[in-house]
Amino acid sequence: MKFLTKLFSTLLLSATTLHAMAAPQELDRVRVIVNDGVILQSEIDMETQSLIASASQSGQSLPGASVLQEQILDKLIVEKIQLQEAERVGIRIDDNRLASTLQEIAKNNQKSLEQFRQHVESQGLSWQSFREQIRDEVAQSEVRNALVRQRINILPAEVDNLADILAQESGATITYKIAHIQLRFNEDEDKSIIEQQANELTQRLKQGEDFATMAITYSKGPKALEGGDWGWMRKEEMPTIFADQIALQSKGEIIGPFRSGIGFHILKIEDVKGLETVSVTEVNARHILIKPTVILSDTGVQRELTKITQRIQSGEVTFADMAEQYSQDPGSAVQGGKLGYQTPELYVPEFKHQVETLPVGVISQPFKTVHGWHIVEVLDRRDVDKTGSAMQNRAYRILFNRKFNEEASAWLQELRASAFVEMVNDDE
């Protein structure tokens, strides 16, 4: 989970801000109304101090206060809207899931959970505040994954064509560390003005100006406040508009400006890594899905699935029999609940988490996804190479990743455009 590493750094850098806020101070104020929620002055202050601390630590220069505040407000508004969407569709990160995520963060930092907690608290950040910020970040990620997935349509012919191309290529690929600036078209604005600005920025970048500073100052892309950093990606993982522009460029090269439907883009190849072997782990799982109704509540569904699990474990019935009788996933129910060998990335986040972490032969506790309530059992895992069905899976993943990044950006823009947002002035 790449976002967790960046989130951890950001939260620790904001520790001194939170510590300072513990002292007596004036009452908090509402600064922005977002639909039926608000953004407080304390949230803006915390984000600002965190960004300043991060920039100071990395030696990164920042734009003027007014530009910085505009970017921060835009970020906080989008985050608030995503959390509201998560609440609307019923996504909530329970304590068990949160504990698992924190364990993963601790492991990535080569610490036990208790050592990690002590490390967080040594930075002046309360453990409870840290946990809740992680909970919010995971909720945003999951609602984004769940709702964007519904917008993606991949035709079998697309998968077949790409699988044929991949089969003719070497399994080794080149990875690029890329940074991105997006200049967005505004309604009723002359597009030639944006094009001229993009050309001027590109010229300044080629003359040696700092890309991250320019991204923080001017970009309206999803990674603006991270200096435009998209991290390490293979071409097949990039949005199509990026991949189409990259053709074995060397480290440090500036690409662009180039145009899309939403504006002009500039890329920088921050670094290039050599060959990387592609391996695929597939999971063979089976599940039972029951959907809540007006009559059968969430609690009732959980109770029903728990009873089914107990009957299976006692040997009274088989998993296959229960799936055929009760599961509301028609495709797998007739197969005794079996989903066949699949890569976990094909599933919604909550289901993916279960099939990645469950031991083989263990039935999960009931858990909820956007489709309803499930129990799942992992039957087997296998590592496969790039031939046969694995190549089809890889082709699907490539197409999915490309379309997901494109649709995620469009979804966020639509969400932001449809939201009610009102700035609250001091004199109101």
- Residue 363: its pLDDT value, please? 96
Let me know: does 221 contact 228? Beta carbons within 8 Å.
yes
Mean pLDDT of 342-347: 88
Band (pLDDT 50/70/90 cuts) for residue 387 is very low
Which pLDDT tens digit goes with each residue over 29-52?
Answer: 888 899 999 988 888 887 887 788
Cis ω before 257 (30° cut-off from 0): yes
Domain positions in the chain: 2-149, 169-278+393-418, 280-384
* Band of residue 279 on the pLDDT scale cut at 50, 70, 90: low
CATH architecture of the domain with residue range 280-384: Roll (3.10)
CATH architecture of 169-278+393-418: Roll (3.10)
pLDDT > 60? residue 383: yes
Question: Looking at the predicted structure, is the pLDDT value of residue 4 above 60?
Answer: no
Min mean pLDDT across 12-16, 149-153, 174-178, 199-203 is at: 12-16
Q: Cα–Cα distance between 222 and 3 in angstroms, integer? A: 13
Mean pLDDT in the chain? 85
| 252 pLDDT higher than 90 | no
Q: Which two tokens stand for residue 14?
A: 């904001």
Residue 125 in this model has a pLDDT that exceeds 80 = no
Distance CA 81, CA 212 (A): 26
Lowest mean pLDDT among 142-146, 316-320, 336-340: 142-146
- The confidence score (pLDDT) of residue 23 equals 43
Q: Pick the residue with more confidence: 188 or 68?
A: 68
Instruction: Report pLDDT for 393.
Output: 78
Given a cut of 80, whether residue 170 has pLDDT beyond it is no
pLDDT at 334 over 50: yes
The pLDDT score that the predictor gives to residue 427 is 56
Share of the chain above pLDDT 90, in %: 38
Percent of the chain residues past pLDDT 70, beyond the cut = 87
pLDDT at residue number 389: 64
pTM metric for this prediction: 0.50
10 Å CB burial of residue 258 (0-12, 13-18, 19+) is: middle
- Per CATH, 2-149 and 280-384 having the same topology is answered no
pLDDT at 215 over 80: yes
Has residue 356 got a pLDDT over 80?
A: yes
Distance CA 394, CA 31 (A): 46
User: What would the two tokens of residue 10 be?
Assistant: 């950001």
Is the per-residue pLDDT at 325 higher than 90?
yes
Span 253-275, average pLDDT? 88
Is residue 390 predicted with pLDDT exceeding 90?
A: no
CATH says 2-149 is which class?
mainly alpha
pLDDT band per the 50, 70, 90 thresholds, residue 171: very low
Q: 397 vs 307, which has greater pLDDT? A: 307
Comparing CA positions, the residue from 418, 405, 347 lying closest to residue 376 is 347
Contacts of 14 (CB under 8 A, 6+ apart): 46, 47, 49, 50, 53, 125
**What local confidence, expressed as pLDDT, does residue 167 receive?**
61
